[in-house]
Chains A and B, each alone.
Chain A
Amino acid sequence: MTPERFRAWVSTVLVIGVSASAALFLLGFIGAVAVGWAGSLTGASTGTADSTDFSTVGAGLAAARPIAFAQAGLLVLVATPVFRVIVSLAAFALEGDRLYVAITSTVLALLLFSIFVVR
């Protein structure tokens, strides 16, 4: 793997993550202007769920609720740096750079520990 390919990989992950989250936020915003944040673009009954409760994002997306699009945008945005670390790990591994495979694996483990365990 050349340094150029490596940079292209990492850059592409960031572009995809940023574009996807921006599209979801935009969809949420346009939807909110049309039917309100708690409304539904498919005409489902108006939601009452707390907008900061992310456990309803799946059901909200199914009902095309603007708030769920914005929540999904947030989740994609937060996941982007994590994916960036995962892709870096793959690239270091393909380079056969053992030192940086070790460093990046540790960063990834700490990151996942921090996101899912530390409260």
Chain B
Amino acid sequence: MPFGTDAGIFAVSLVAGLVGAVAGIGGGVFVVPALTLAFGVDIRLAIGASIVSVIATSSGSAAAYVRDQMTNLHIGMFLELATVLGAIAGALLASVVAPSLLFVTLGLVLLGSAALQVVRLADIPGPAVAPSATAVRLGLVGSYPDRNLGRTVGYAPRRIPLGVALMGFAGLVSGLLGIGSGALKVLAMDGAMGLPIKVSSATSNFMIGVTAAASAGIYLSRGDVDPRIATPVALGVLGGALVGARILPHLSNRAVRLVFAPVLVLIGLQTLARGLGLA
């Protein structure tokens, strides 16, 4: 591979890691089209590289998020139960289900969610509502230091069963389609469970590495991961994620949504295009 190609892939991956760390996603939305369209990489290897991007974003950003109390370890581990189960079900169903209808449905859901993000731009984390007995028993109540607001923000998840169901769906979709897992996780925590957007993003980032690792074995054994492509992707994404994770605590909630909404539109459009056979 010529050196310029490596530099180009590294640069795209740097952006993917940076945006991914802030938005709570794995960056496949940037890596896959860039590799296939700009660098002529086979789609199979591009998807294999996106798994690398997801794990690198997750581990690269979570090191800082966990230390800085942005990630809720209990919520993350509790919901991982649902996502990993969903991911296994998705991987097993992949040869049975015709994915085009699913791609179209998911695409529309993501585009709708993007509109919702714009509506909620002005939201700021309010005073914590009284936590439900379930939230207390499961140890899901927490707080995080918001460097932008200059105070500690308490939170407690609402609608836990809905959140668990959506997390299972996020796992299913990532196992089945290999796309949108991080975006759906953020939406489940931010939208359904009413967690602060920054906690949702940081906890999603923490979780997507585990979901991706669950399917990485399949991709590696199929020969879908080429180390020559993974090298610039991983180095770029790790660099970007380290920077992104330093930025997030200082961003306003509005800024995080302003990053997240266009990302949702991009993932939504890509998913729609794949469902309609356009990509």
Does chain A bind chain B?
A: yes
Partner of B66, one of A14, A81, A111: A14
Contact flag A107-B84 (CB < 8 Å), given A28-B227, A74-B52, A114-B214: yes
Chain A: interface size category: 35 or more
Q: How far is the CB of B111 from chain A (nearest CB, A)?
A: 30
**What string of 1s and 0s marks CB contacts (under 8 Å) between B87-106 and chain A?**
11001100000000000000
In the complex, how many residues of chain B place their beta carbon closer than 8 angstroms to a beta carbon of chain A? 51
Q: List A80-119 residues whose CB lies under 8 Å from chain B.
A: 80-82, 84-85, 88, 97, 99-100, 103-104, 106-107, 110-111, 113-116, 118-119
**A71 interface hit (Cβ, 8 Å):** yes
A107-B80 contact in complex given A52-B223, A74-B227, A77-B52, C-beta closer than 8 Å: yes
Task: Return A38 CB to nearest CB of chain B, in Å.
Answer: 10
- Smallest CB-CB separation from A89: which chain B residue? B77
Query: Main secondary structure on chain B at its contact with chain A?
Result: helix
Contact B227 A78 (CB under 8 A): no
Contacts of B235 in A (CB 8 A): 22, 25-26, 29
| Contact status A103-B81, CB under 8 Å | yes
Residue of B at shortest CB range from A54? B220
Evaluate whether A97 and B218 lie within 8 angstroms (CB atoms) in the complex, with A14-B59, A14-B62 already known: no
- Least CB distance from A80 to B in Å reads 5
List of B residues within 8 angstroms of A67 by Cβ: 227-228
Give the Cβ gap from B210 to chain A, nearest Cβ, in Å. 5
- Which residues on A sit within 8 Å (CB–CB) of B120? none
Interchain CB contact under 8 A, A77 and B234: yes
User: Does residue B58 face the partner (Cβ distance < 8 Å to A)?
Assistant: yes
* A41 contacts B by Cβ under 8 Å: no
Q: Mark B207-229, 1 if CB is under 8 A from A, else 0.
A: 00110111111101101111110
Q: Which of the residues B81, B213, B230 comes within 8 Å of A82, measured between beta carbons?
A: B213
Interface residue? A64 (CB, 8 A): no
In the bound complex, residues from chain A placing their C-beta under 8 Å from that of B74 are 100
Q: How far is the CA of A53 from the CA of B138 in the complex (A)?
A: 43
- For B56-98 the 0/1 string (1 means CB < 8 A from A) is 1011101110110100011001101100110110011000000
Using Cβ atoms and an 8 Å threshold, which residues of chain B touch A119? 218, 221
With a cutoff of 8 Å between Cβ atoms, the chain A residues found around residue B220 in the complex are: 52, 54, 74, 78
A97–B217 CA distance with the chains assembled, in angstroms = 30
Contact A100 B77, beta carbon cutoff 8 Å: yes
> Would A18 and B213 count as touching, CB distance under 8 A?
no
Question: Can you add 17 more A-B contacts, CB < 8 Å, to A22-B234, A88-B73, A116-B217?
Answer: A11-B62, A18-B59, A21-B238, A26-B235, A28-B231, A29-B6, A51-B227, A53-B223, A73-B234, A80-B209, A84-B210, A100-B139, A103-B78, A107-B77, A107-B81, A114-B217, A115-B213
Interface residues of B (CB under 8 A from A): 3, 6, 52, 55-56, 58-60, 62-64, 66-67, 69, 73-74, 77-78, 80-81, 84-85, 87-88, 91-92, 138-139, 209-210, 212-218, 220-221, 223-228, 230-232, 234-235, 238
- 8 tightest A-B contacts by CB? A70-B227, A115-B217, A14-B63, A81-B209, A52-B223, A114-B214, A81-B213, A11-B67
